[in-house]
A and B are shown apart, each in its own frame.
Chain A
Amino acid sequence: MLRFDEFAVALGGRTLVRLDGTVAAGKVLAVMGPSGAGKSSLLKAVAGLIGPPFVVSGRVLVGEEDITRLPVEARGVGLMFQDALLFPHMSVVGNVMFAVPRRVARSRGARREVAMGHLGRVAMAHLAEADPATLSGGERSRVALARTLAGAPRVLLLDEPFAALDQALKARTRDIVFRLAAEDGLPVVMVSHDPADAEAARAQVVEIRPCQEGEGS
């Protein structure tokens, strides 16, 4: 469970976004709003990837643990962007192995097995040895998802992850993402332009407007 407690991101004295409420395991919170409203900034703030000039106030909790002051690497949040941002100097399975925590598997053989499991979940096991640069857009998104899940996150943050895909591909990729997030019991915060994304996820929706407050439930 992910809980926001008067969590707000401000820029130059203006509050961009303000959130209160909880996202249960396997459920999706969709944050909608025009460009520049501060959606990406909100996700970065939850992940701990934001600094000056932005000011973050309030708290974010995962379960009972307050993660607001933790460094990025200690938060356990999985991130996915519009660009898959695969590491071009690693193979597909190398990307996923990079994410597997050592408490899950230590030896290289075991880590590889875990990684292959995650690739199987996104139907990419057959391309494990491929160069990420040779993949199609949909395949790249799926590998990015496998990598994120392999990191054993406690929360999933999606920043317009389907925006670069065409309609048919978008629907299929979206289904995989939400199904696997539910399987792993992850609370999801998704930023999107497309109301269909929120519908597909049966998400609670928060609208944010430039310079105004949005209230979650």
Chain B
Amino acid sequence: MVALAAMLPVAAGLVGILAPAFGHLPALGHRGVSLAPFAALFAAPGIATSVLLSAATGLAATALGVGLTMLLLAASYGGRSLVVAERLLAPILSVPHAAAAAGFVFLFAPTGFVLRLLSPWPSGLEAPPDIALVGDPYGIALVLALAMKETPFLFMMALVALSQVEAAGRVGVARSLGYGRMAAFLHAAWPLVYRQMRLPVLAVLAFAASVVDVVMILGPRQPAPLGGRIVTWLQAADLDGWFLGSAGAVAMMGLVLLLVGLWRAGEAVAGRAAARLRLGGRRWRRDRVARVAVLGFGAVAVAAMAVSFAGLMLQSVAGYWPFPDVLPATVGLAVWQRRLAMAAATLGDTLTIALAATAAALPLAVVLVEAARRGGVSTRLVYVPLIVPQVAFLFGLDVLAIRAGLTPGLGAVILAHMVFALPYQVIALAGPWQALDPRFEAVAASLGAGPVRRFVTVRLAMMTASLLVTAAVSVAVSVGLYLPTQMIGAGRVATVTTEAVAAATGGDRRLLGLYATLQLVIPLLAFAVARWVPALLWRRRRGMRPVRWAA
């Protein structure tokens, strides 16, 4: 029931977009079915390039992310680096896409930090080079930034899957048969892990192919990938734009379906190749160099992200900062002072939305994971809002909301955020919820505790830490949402993320630095609270220390 309810907005949104895509918009006096919007779509200049860009960047970013996840896990499995990686995951995961993209620009733009470090020596540059290092027409920067942002998410999903497949024993068997560490993991555990994390992988694929905010910050322009163009059309205040955008949204839906099909075909090919390798029996025993290289790359990537976030914060207080200088000549709080009042209001709205959506969705998530534990329902349906491209159903939802007489505003945005908060909550909560030994409740029952009392005093109490982490994940997700805020709020609701994207596209680096800082700080605070409250609450209870997946 709840799972179906989670799908409902998506289904409604898709219905809402179908009508205008076929020229039917009775609210504005257009009735009947016509293919004119699609004709206009296919006639739009550069549309083929846009579609190709979306498809290629989506597939490439996903393949890169999955490949990196696989190698990092194979290199760290069974060692100390896996424990370190797990500790670093939550803070990295909580970074909103827009902030990660802004950080990428900070590092790799022609005036970026990396070139400043290399200039004037050894690069010989006195002025920033006139080449498109970010926003390149091939979407290379887009692919790299997306892969960098999605790899931690895929890594976490892989850890969850790992805890469900009895990997340790099987990897041990493979190693005792003479296989090297990475080969043992890749042959004996990875296929099982991948099978468990297929839905999150498809969610990443759909997201990467239809992403909007990251494209606006560092994607190709003229033509932009399809997702970005759809939003531009839909936000143009004219009817033709709406029809065009709706047709584009339906086309995006078809494109994502096609990409999912392509990906599945790719999986089959890769699976067959892997099976041949397994039967060949090569041991790959000397993998030390490979392991060190993979782990070194991971460490450099994490360090680069940390530097980019520090850089964004620095950018918000930087004064004069000419090109080859590594650090700004002057710093000051001018932007913060000038924008504080506005930023405070935005921050207030951001927190209101995040906390309200989290609080409203959490009971639903609990009901869902509990139902799943009892074997009644599968939680797969809650992935639907993550796999259907956002541009495809958000506008339709908007159309329906207007028909129903709802005014866009904070309330509507909170509801929209719930649609995305819920699936991530279920993802975060499902593992620990399943892992709690059911015998605790059985003991409570045998002592005479009724169902409500044992649910509250045993299960919910023992799940305190996991519930708080789930809430933190959900707050981080909500803070990072761009499109749902922008489209459902009809541009009237601003959060730190919509403001950061606006500042980035407007080219105001100090303001971008300010909002990116806020974007980074809120989720970190949420995770800090989630960590310290239980630590304080259970400081005398060793048995209540958080269970780690990698253990």
Chain A residues packing against B (C-beta within 8 Å) = 47, 49, 71-79, 81, 83, 85, 87-90, 94, 97-102, 108, 111-112, 147, 151, 153
State whether the Cβ of B188 lies closer than 8 Å to any Cβ in chain A.
Answer: yes
- Which B271-298 residues sit within 8 Å CB-CB of chain A? 275, 278-283, 285
Query: Which of B169, B177, B195 makes the CB contact (< 8 A) with A99?
Result: B177
What are the residues of chain A within 8 A of B278 when measuring CB–CB? 90, 94, 97-98
Q: Are B177 and A75 in contact (CB under 8 A)?
A: no
Chain B residue at minimal CB-CB distance from A76: B178
Query: How many pairs of residues, A versus B, come closer than 8 Å at their CB atoms?
Result: 78
Q: Are B279 and A98 in contact (CB under 8 A)?
A: yes
Chain B residue at minimal CB-CB distance from A89: B191
Q: Are A97 and B192 in contact (CB under 8 A)?
A: no
Q: Are A75 and B192 in contact (CB under 8 A)?
A: no
Q: What mask results when residues 178 to 203 of chain B are scored 1 for a CB within 8 Å of chain A, else 0? A: 11110010011001100100000000
Q: Are A111 and B281 in contact (CB under 8 A)?
A: yes
State whether the Cβ of B36 lies closer than 8 Å to any Cβ in chain A.
Answer: no
Chain B residues packing against A (C-beta within 8 Å) = 166, 169-170, 172-181, 184, 187-188, 191-192, 195, 275, 278-283, 285
Q: Are B170 and A85 in contact (CB under 8 A)?
A: yes
Query: Which of A49, A81, A87, A97 makes the CB contact (< 8 A) with B175?
Result: A49
Chain A residue at minimal CB-CB distance from B194: A89
Which 6 A-B residue pairs are closest in the complex by CB-CB distance?
A: A72-B175, A151-B177, A89-B191, A85-B169, A79-B176, A97-B279
Contacts A97-B279, A97-B281, A102-B281 given: A75-B176 contact, CB under 8 Å? Answer: yes
What are the residues of chain B within 8 A of A101 when measuring CB–CB? 178, 281, 283
Q: Are A83 and B169 in contact (CB under 8 A)?
A: yes
Query: Which of A49, A85, A102, A151 makes the CB contact (< 8 A) with B282?
Result: A102
What are the residues of chain B within 8 A of A75 when measuring CB–CB? 176
- A49-B172, A77-B176 known, 16 other contacts, Cβ within 8 Å: A47-B176, A71-B175, A72-B172, A73-B175, A73-B184, A74-B178, A74-B285, A75-B176, A79-B172, A85-B170, A89-B191, A98-B281, A111-B279, A147-B173, A151-B176, A153-B176
What are the residues of chain B within 8 A of A71 when measuring CB–CB? 175
What are the residues of chain B within 8 A of A100 when measuring CB–CB? 281
What are the residues of chain A within 8 A of B279 when measuring CB–CB? 94, 97-98, 108, 111-112
What are the residues of chain B within 8 A of A76 when measuring CB–CB? 178
A102 to chain B, nearest CB (A): 5
Chain B residue at minimal CB-CB distance from A49: B172
Chain A residue at minimal CB-CB distance from B79: A51
Instruction: Determine the distance from Cα of A98 to Cα of B178 in the docked complex, in whole angstroms.
Output: 10
Instruction: Determine the distance from Cα of A184 to Cα of B82 in the docked complex, in whole angstroms.
Output: 39
Q: Are B178 and A89 in contact (CB under 8 A)?
A: no
A110 to chain B, nearest CB (A): 10
Q: Are B176 and A49 in contact (CB under 8 A)?
A: yes
Contacts A73-B178, A94-B275 given: A102-B283 contact, CB under 8 Å? Answer: yes
What are the residues of chain B within 8 A of A94 when measuring CB–CB? 275, 278-279
B355 to chain A, nearest CB (A): 42
Instruction: Determine the distance from Cα of A151 to Cα of B178 in the docked complex, in whole angstroms.
Output: 8
A46 to chain B, nearest CB (A): 10
What are the residues of chain A within 8 A of B170 when measuring CB–CB? 85, 87
Q: Are B172 and A73 in contact (CB under 8 A)?
A: no
What are the residues of chain A within 8 A of B176 when measuring CB–CB? 47, 49, 72-73, 75, 77-79, 151, 153
What are the residues of chain B within 8 A of A74 when measuring CB–CB? 178, 285
B168 to chain A, nearest CB (A): 9
A204 to chain B, nearest CB (A): 24
Q: Could you show 6 A-B contacts with beta carbons less than 8 Å apart?
A: A47-B176, A73-B285, A75-B176, A83-B166, A87-B170, A90-B278
What are the residues of chain A within 8 A of B191 when measuring CB–CB? 89
Instruction: Determine the distance from Cα of A77 to Cα of B278 in the docked complex, in whole angstroms.
Output: 20
Instruction: Determine the distance from Cα of A151 to Cα of B508 in the docked complex, in whole angstroms.
Output: 64
What are the residues of chain A within 8 A of B188 when measuring CB–CB? 87
Instruction: Determine the distance from Cα of A111 to Cα of B278 in the docked complex, in whole angstroms.
Output: 11
B346 to chain A, nearest CB (A): 49
What are the residues of chain A within 8 A of B280 when measuring CB–CB? 102, 108, 111
What are the residues of chain B within 8 A of A85 when measuring CB–CB? 166, 169-170, 173
A186 to chain B, nearest CB (A): 14
What are the residues of chain A within 8 A of B184 when measuring CB–CB? 73
A62 to chain B, nearest CB (A): 13
Instruction: Determine the distance from Cα of A100 to Cα of B195 in the docked complex, in whole angstroms.
Output: 26
What are the residues of chain B within 8 A of A151 when measuring CB–CB? 176-178
Which of B177, B191, B192 is the most central at the interface, judged by chain A CB atoms within 10 Å of its CB?
B177
Q: Are A88 and B192 in contact (CB under 8 A)?
A: yes
B268 to chain A, nearest CB (A): 13
B285 to chain A, nearest CB (A): 5
B417 to chain A, nearest CB (A): 39
B126 to chain A, nearest CB (A): 53
What are the residues of chain B within 8 A of A83 when measuring CB–CB? 166, 169
What are the residues of chain A within 8 A of B285 when measuring CB–CB? 73-74
What are the residues of chain B within 8 A of A73 when measuring CB–CB? 175-181, 184, 283, 285
Which of A72, A101, A111 is the most central at the interface, judged by chain B CB atoms within 10 Å of its CB?
A72
Instruction: Determine the distance from Cα of A108 to Cα of B195 in the docked complex, in whole angstroms.
Output: 26
What are the residues of chain A within 8 A of B177 when measuring CB–CB? 73, 98-99, 147, 151
A189 to chain B, nearest CB (A): 13
Query: Which of A47, A78, A98, A112 makes the CB contact (< 8 A) with B187?
Result: A98
Chain A residue at minimal CB-CB distance from B184: A73
What are the residues of chain A within 8 A of B181 when measuring CB–CB? 73
Chain B residue at minimal CB-CB distance from A151: B177
Instruction: Determine the distance from Cα of A49 to Cα of B278 in the docked complex, in whole angstroms.
Output: 22
Chain B residue at minimal CB-CB distance from A97: B279
What are the residues of chain A within 8 A of B169 when measuring CB–CB? 81, 83, 85
Chain B residue at minimal CB-CB distance from A153: B176
Q: Are A79 and B192 in contact (CB under 8 A)?
A: no
Which of A47, A81, A100, A151 is the most central at the interface, judged by chain B CB atoms within 10 Å of its CB?
A151
B242 to chain A, nearest CB (A): 48
Query: Which of A47, A72, A90, A147 makes the CB contact (< 8 A) with B275?
Result: A90
What are the residues of chain A within 8 A of B174 when measuring CB–CB? 98
Instruction: Determine the distance from Cα of A74 to Cα of B278 in the docked complex, in whole angstroms.
Output: 19
A203 to chain B, nearest CB (A): 22
Instruction: Determine the distance from Cα of A87 to Cα of B166 in the docked complex, in whole angstroms.
Output: 10
A24 to chain B, nearest CB (A): 22
Chain B residue at minimal CB-CB distance from A47: B176
Chain B residue at minimal CB-CB distance from A150: B177
What are the residues of chain B within 8 A of A99 when measuring CB–CB? 177, 281
Chain A residue at minimal CB-CB distance from B287: A73
A51 to chain B, nearest CB (A): 8
What are the residues of chain B within 8 A of A102 when measuring CB–CB? 280-283
B179 to chain A, nearest CB (A): 6
Instruction: Determine the distance from Cα of A47 to Cα of B195 in the docked complex, in whole angstroms.
Output: 29
B396 to chain A, nearest CB (A): 40
Which of B279, B280, B283, B285 is the most central at the interface, judged by chain A CB atoms within 10 Å of its CB?
B279
Instruction: Determine the distance from Cα of A75 to Cα of B172 in the docked complex, in whole angstroms.
Output: 12
Instruction: Determine the distance from Cα of A98 to Cα of B172 in the docked complex, in whole angstroms.
Output: 14
